[in-house]
Amino acid sequence: MLLAALLFVSLLWENEYLVVEHNGNLLSAWTINEGERFEVDFMHSLNLSPIVDVFEWTSEGMVLRESLFQTLGGGTPTPADFPGSELVHLDGGFKLTGIDLPFSAFAILTQEIPNHRISFAGRELFLLDLVGPGESVTIDVRRMSIATRLILFLSGG
């Protein structure tokens, strides 16, 4: 009886999840804790070089902390785009630190180039593996119970 009660309570216990949604359907959900970081990486559509945007989950929401890229040029961020940020030259590229731009959620339009990928806690997820090109997916952090997460996955919503 105690085991059943503990199982029931654990199903109702809420956690925060890094979620990927498409048209209101939950595609992926990973438990995330405050202070943890995740990356969204993609291929720059003009110079065809990789870019990695690093986000941190905080009490302010998802905060873009830094961006790593190989070349400077059209479409790559600069300190002028984010006052207070700093451009650091790395071996083989650049890192723009101190961006500190908060998001409550953001949308990504899937395409073969840039072929967005989300990396978090040793796991990776290519968005084109979930939806076809030309589709919009939303990245968000949502508080929900394990039971709610299970119901959303099973119902396709």
**Tens-digit pLDDT profile for residues 55-105:** 999 988 999 999 999 988 777 888 999 999 999 999 989 999 999 999 999
H or E element that contains 126: strand 123-126
Q: Which of 17-21, 29-33, 41-45, 143-147 has the lowest mean pLDDT?
A: 143-147
Contacts of 66 (CB under 8 A, 6+ apart): 53, 54, 95, 96, 97, 98, 99
What does the pLDDT read at residue 47?
A: 80
Model confidence at 147: pLDDT above 80: no
CA-only gyration radius of the chain, Å: 18
What does the pLDDT read at residue 60?
A: 86
**Residue of 20, 17, 19 lying closest to 129 (CA atoms):** 20
Average pLDDT in the chain: 88
Mind listing the pLDDT tens digit for each residue in 4-28? 544 555 556 788 999 999 998 989 9
